[in-house]
């Protein structure tokens, strides 16, 4: 599914998988050895809720992008592979986007930027 992030630094397009079911959300990007720079996974939440992510069995570092119901980025955290430390959203979110670790900084994606996707 296409996903777009509009940042002050530019507009960025990703192709994301949707983790819609509890089973898909539990597995996420576990066990994958690589993730292309323009790929990711989105975890939708309806209604918006406080969530926390961790990296159990996740082999690659990820940027975890917490997205509010209005589509703006609430928080970006940098997750270390295999780390079991919970990374909380800090507020109710409507979705969480996982992209390759360091990618948000490379592109200049920041809190407050807008994310759109078909949902």
Q: Which residues pair with 14 in a beta bridge?
A: 3
Domain boundaries, the chain: 2-117
The model's pLDDT over 26-67, given as tens digits with 9 standing for 90+, comes to 999 999 999 999 999 999 999 999 999 999 999 999 999 999
What would the mean pLDDT of 63-82 be, rounded to a whole number?
A: 98
CATH code for residues 2-117:
2.60.120.1140
């Amino acid at each position: 599914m296409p996903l777009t992030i509009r940042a002050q630094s530019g507009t960025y397009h990703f192709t994301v998988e949707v983790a819609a079911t509890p089973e898909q959300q539990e597995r996420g990007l576990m066990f994958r050895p690589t993730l292309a720079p323009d790929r990711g996974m989105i975890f939708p939440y309806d209604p918006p809720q406080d969530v926390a992510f961790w990296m159990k069995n996740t082999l690659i570092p990820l940027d975890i992008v917490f997205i509010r119901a209005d589509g703006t980025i609430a928080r970006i955290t940098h997750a270390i592979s295999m780390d079991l430390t919970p990374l909380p959203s800090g507020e109710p979110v409507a979705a969480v986007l996982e992209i390759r670790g360091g990618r948000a900084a490379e592109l200049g994606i920041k809190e407050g930027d807008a994310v759109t996707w078909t949902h």
